C-alpha cells in the first residue's frame, strides 16, 4: 500500500501554538486537556467566540489566528442536531467561511476531523482508498468540506491532514447515537438497554482519548495526508451491551427491538494508521467502557446522565 500520510517533521516538535475550532464539543473537550497536560500552547474556540455560520467569522479568524499556528478543525453540527437539508447547508456554510479564511490567510498546518460517514453505508471493510460515496447528508457534508480545504490550501502548499474516525465514545461524548455511550446512559438511568434485533451488527468503536493522543502526535509531526482512525477490532452491539450490563451493580435488562434495516457490518483495515504511528496503542472497548463509567462516577455525573 502506498504511503497515505507524510510526517513533515521527522523529529516530533511542539508547534508554536495550536488553535482548536469546536473546542467545546466531544472531541475538543478531550483534546484541550490533553494539549494542556503536554504543555502545548493552545487556545480553544467555540461558537460563542466565533460563529462559523456568520460571514463575520472570516475576519474574526484573521484577527485570532497567526501564520505559524496549527489549526485543528472540529467544528460541525452533529447528526443529533439534525439530519436534514437545513443542517447540511449550515455545515457547508461553515466550511465555506473557513475556506475563505484559509485562502486568504494560510497557517502552518491544518488538521480536519472528518468522518467515516464519507464511505458508503454498505461497505463491510474500509480502507483509505475505499470509494467515498456517502449515504447520508452528514457524510456528504464532510466530503464537501474535505474538497474545499484541499482546494484552497493546495496553492500555498499548507500541510493538510484529513482524519476519518469511526464511531466515537468516551466521557466527554454527550451524543445519543446508537452504541456504547447510549447503552451506558440507558443502563444507568433505566436499567435497560435496547438493541435493534439481536444487536448482531459489528462496529469499530474509538475511545475519545485515543483520538486526542493521535491528533497530538499529528500536531507534533506536522502530519499531512489522509488517515482513517479506528482500533481495527469490530465488536457487535450485543457484545457492547453485555459489557455495559456487567459494569453496573444493579441488574440490567437487554431488550430486543424491531430492526429498522438489514444487518450490516463495518470493519476497518488500520494498516496505514499502524505504519504511520507504530507505537500508538488503541484502547479496546473492554477497557474504554469501564474507564468512561469510572470517570463519570468520579465527576459525580452518573445521577444526571441524560
pLDDT exceeds 90 at position 34 = yes
Domain membership of residue 138 (yes or no) is yes
pLDDT exceeds 80 at position 301 = no
Q: Are residues 100 and 188 in the same domain?
A: no
pLDDT exceeds 80 at position 104 = yes
pLDDT exceeds 60 at position 304 = no
Q: Are residues 157 and 184 in the same domain?
A: no
What is the chain's mean pLDDT, rounded?
92
Q: Are residues 41 and 151 in the same domain?
A: yes
Domain membership of residue 7 (yes or no) is no
Domain membership of residue 92 (yes or no) is yes
What's the rounded Cα separation, in Å, for the pair 284 and 233?
A: 8
Q: What is the pLDDT of residue 300?
A: 55
Sign of torsion, CA 43 49 54 58?
negative
pLDDT grade, residue 297 (50/70/90)? Answer: confident
For the chain, percent of residues with pLDDT exceeding 90: 83
Q: Are residues 164 and 61 in the same domain?
A: yes
The total number of structural domains that make up the chain: 2
Q: Are residues 153 and 130 in the same domain?
A: yes
Domain membership of residue 288 (yes or no) is yes
Q: What is the pLDDT of residue 124?
A: 81
pLDDT digits (tens, 9 = 90+) for 178-212: 999 999 999 999 999 999 999 999 999 999 999 99
Domain membership of residue 274 (yes or no) is no
Regarding beta strands 69-73 and 42-45, do their DSSP bridges make them parallel or antiparallel, or are they unpaired? unpaired
Q: Are residues 193 and 80 in the same domain?
A: no
CB 5 within 8 A of CB 224: yes
Q: Are residues 179 and 86 in the same domain?
A: no
pLDDT digits (tens, 9 = 90+) for 60-103: 999 999 999 999 999 999 888 888 999 999 999 999 999 999 99
Q: Which residue stretches of 154-270 are H helix? A: 180-190, 208-221, 237-247
Q: Are residues 35 and 72 in the same domain?
A: yes
Q: Are residues 175 and 113 in the same domain?
A: no
Domain membership of residue 3 (yes or no) is no
What CATH number does the domain containing 190 carry?
3.90.25.10
Q: Indicate yes or no: pTM above 0.75.
A: yes
Q: Are residues 108 and 238 in the same domain?
A: no
Domain membership of residue 58 (yes or no) is yes
What CATH number does the domain containing 124 carry?
3.40.50.720
pLDDT grade, residue 3 (50/70/90)? Answer: low
Regarding beta strands 69-73 and 267-268, do their DSSP bridges make them parallel or antiparallel, or are they unpaired? unpaired
Q: Are residues 161 and 186 in the same domain?
A: no
- Residue 241: which domain range? 170-203+233-265+283-301
pLDDT grade, residue 302 (50/70/90)? Answer: very low
Domain membership of residue 127 (yes or no) is yes
| Closest by Cα among 180, 181, 118 to 145 | 118
pLDDT grade, residue 263 (50/70/90)? Answer: confident
Q: Are residues 164 and 250 in the same domain?
A: no
Find the angle CA(179)-CA(294)-CA(288) to the nearest 5 degrees.
Answer: 45
Amino acid at each position: 500500500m502506498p504511503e497515505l500520510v507524510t510526517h513533515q517533521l521527522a523529529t516530533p516538535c511542539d508547534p508554536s501554538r495550536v488553535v482548536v475550532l469546536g473546542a467545546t464539543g466531544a472531541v475538543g473537550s478531550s483534546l484541550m486537556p490533553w494539549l494542556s497536560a503536554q504543555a502545548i500552547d493552545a487556545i480553544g474556540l467555540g461558537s460563542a467566540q466565533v460563529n462559523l455560520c456568520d460571514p463575520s467569522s472570516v475576519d474574526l479568524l484573521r484577527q485570532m489566528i497567526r501564520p505559524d499556528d496549527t489549526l485543528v478543525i472540529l467544528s460541525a453540527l452533529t447528526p443529533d442536531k439534525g439530519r436534514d437539508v437545513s443542517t447540511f447547508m449550515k455545515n457547508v456554510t461553515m466550511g465555506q467561511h473557513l475556506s475563505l479564511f484559509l485562502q486568504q490567510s494560510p497557517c502552518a498546518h491544518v488538521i480536519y476531523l472528518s468522518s467515516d460517514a464519507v464511505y458508503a453505508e454498505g461497505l463491510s471493510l474500509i480502507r483509505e482508498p475505499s470509494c467515498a460515496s456517502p449515504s447520508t447528508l452528514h457524510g456528504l457534508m464532510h466530503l464537501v468540506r474535505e474538497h474545499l480545504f484541499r482546494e484552497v490550501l493546495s496553492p500555498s502548499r499548507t500541510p493538510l491532514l484529513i482524519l476519518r474516525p469511526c464511531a466515537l465514545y468516551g466521557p466527554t461524548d454527550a451524543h445519543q447515537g446508537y452504541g456504547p455511550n447510549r447503552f451506558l446512559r440507558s443502563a444507568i438511568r433505566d436499567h435497560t438497554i435496547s438493541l435493534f434485533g439481536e444487536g448482531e451488527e459489528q462496529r469499530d468503536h474509538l475511545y475519545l482519548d485515543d483520538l486526542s493522543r493521535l491528533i497530538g502526535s499529528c500536531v507534533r509531526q506536522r502530519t499531512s495526508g489522509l488517515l482513517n482512525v479506528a482500533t481495527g477490532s469490530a465488536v457487535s452491539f450485543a457484545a457492547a451491551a453485555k459489557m455495559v450490563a456487567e459494569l453496573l451493580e444493579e441488574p440490567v435488562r437487554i431488550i430486543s427491538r424491531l430492526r429498522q434495516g438489514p444487518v450490516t457490518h463495518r470493519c476497518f483495515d488500520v494498516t496505514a494508521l499502524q505504519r504511520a504511528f507504530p507505537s500508538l496503542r488503541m484502547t479496546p472497548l473492554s477497557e474504554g467502557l469501564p474507564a468512561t463509567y469510572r470517570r463519570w462516577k468520579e465527576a459525580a455525573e452518573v445521577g444526571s446522565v441524560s
